[in-house]
Amino acid sequence: MIWNKEMECMSREQMREVQGEKLRKIVAHAYSNSPFYKQRLDEHGVHPSDIKTIDDIVKLPFTVKQDLRDNYPFGLMAVPMSDIIRLHASSGTTGKPIVVGYTRTDLDNWSEAVARCLTAFGLGKNDLVQISYGYGLFTGGLGAHAGVQKIGATVIPTSSGNTQKQMQLMQDFGTTALACTPSYAMYMSDELQKAGITLDRLKLRVGIFGAEPWTEAMRQELQKKLGVKAYDIYGLTEISGPGVGSECECQCGTHIWEDLYYPEIIDPVTLKPVEPGQKGELVFTTLDKWGMPMLRYRTRDLTTLNYEKCDCGRTCVRMGKIMGRSDDMMIVRGVNVFPSQIESILLEFPEYEPYFLIEVDRVNNTDTFDIQVEVKPEFYTDRINELVRIRQRLTSRIQSVIGIQPNIKIVQPNTIERSTGKAKRAIDHRKFE
């Protein structure tokens, strides 16, 4: 099923027309109503009249997270506050939170985007969707909520946490779809197993997982453990929230709803567009968001775009899995390390749990690279030789994939903190002056 066939399946030429038309309007709106954008565009010598087709987007300057921080809280709004009917915020790890504001039209467009995602997952009126993303300033809970209502399915607004109750309701209500971060889904599946709740007592069939990077190996694991088809849903606060794009039944790339959110991939160093299909930093322009439009916002997410038509019939561009944020990437002893690489490797080993914590520090001018991992309780034996052997295999595998040798620390089962939201999987203790 396709929620909005017209927008999701139009030809590339038509889409470019729609995008060009919308870009002209949103740039004119931002220029006339946001002092921030007026100044930015003036400084770059660009005027709204320079924007004629979607190709002209490259004339626009970029917007970055620091712009949102510098203009905290409402400096990027392009409508009077009386037209803003919702605020969300994202705290990030450092500094002031960033704040976003939505008009009624913005909320409608956002729920339209989420409705497209949910329909692409095969959900409809008869489904019961348990939303275990956090409700509140985080966009996950309320964003997913509005989309579920839009398609006429039943919302079970549990928010995150209180896992025992989540499991109870899941059984009692016959939840058919679970929406949460993949790390919370993994934790929940372990708890279900511990509680002896077998899959035949559940009606789950779809997982709506996103808000953090996760690997194909993790998908296989979650599908097996929860008895669902696990779909990726992507989004970010600055651009609206969950539902900027999602997979379809083919599970072969995340369709971006391009009539609402225009994606580009740039080289994060030269800031020039990369060759088609190449990896780079994802940049979004919101084409239909009026409260707080974003022009060429640099997401820091690293991925690729594929414009080939999908087997599902949708023509909207497909984004590859997010490799990680360029912010998350750590350079350890000169080598790029992404937490998702460790996740994939751990899932290759039946002995290990997919929970881990990377800690990097610098001692005597050399980077240390420690990884805490848990073995499954049945492998956590007193036989020290056994553990040494398992540890050695993991060390070699990580060294061969990443190129540097980690110091693996096997910790007791259930030691690494379980997450009900976005998992924290790396800590960098190094001080860079």
Contacts to ligand DLL by CB under 6 A: 90, 133, 139-140, 210-213, 232-237, 241-242, 299, 301, 322, 325
Give the shortest CB-309-to-ligand DLL separation in angstroms.
22
Give the shortest CB-417-to-ligand DLL separation in angstroms.
19
* Comparison of 90 and 251: residue with beta carbon closer to ligand DLL: 90
* Comparison of 212 and 258: residue with beta carbon closer to ligand DLL: 212
Give the shortest CB-182-to-ligand DLL separation in angstroms.
8
Torsion sign across C-alpha atoms 287, 293, 297, 300: negative
Buried (b) or exposed (e) across 161-189, using 16+ Cβ within 10 A?
A: eebeebbebbbeeebbbbbbbbbbbbbbb
Q: Got the DSSP string for 377-432?
A: GGG--S-HHHHHHHHHHHHHHHHHHHSS--EEEEE-TT-SPP-SSS---EEE----
Query: Could you say which DSSP state residue 108 is in?
Result: H
d(CA 204, CA 157): 16
Give the shortest CB-320-to-ligand DLL separation in angstroms.
10
* Comparison of 51 and 239: residue with beta carbon closer to ligand DLL: 239
Is there a contact between 27 and 56 (Cβ–Cβ < 8 Å)? Answer: no
* Comparison of 132 and 315: residue with beta carbon closer to ligand DLL: 132
d(CA 156, CA 348): 34
- SS3 category, 226: helix
d(CA 245, CA 318): 9
Give the shortest CB-7-to-ligand DLL separation in angstroms.
20
* Comparison of 118 and 295: residue with beta carbon closer to ligand DLL: 118
* Comparison of 192 and 319: residue with beta carbon closer to ligand DLL: 319
Give the Å distances, CA to CA, from 326 to 91, 189, 268, 282, 422: 18, 30, 9, 10, 17
Give the shortest CB-157-to-ligand DLL separation in angstroms.
14
Length of the chain counted residue by residue: 433
Give the shortest CB-65-to-ligand DLL separation in angstroms.
10
Quick count: other Cβ atoms within 10 Å of Cβ 399?
12
Tokens of 286: 């919101």
* Comparison of 326 and 395: residue with beta carbon closer to ligand DLL: 326
Residue number of the CB atom closest to ligand DLL: 210
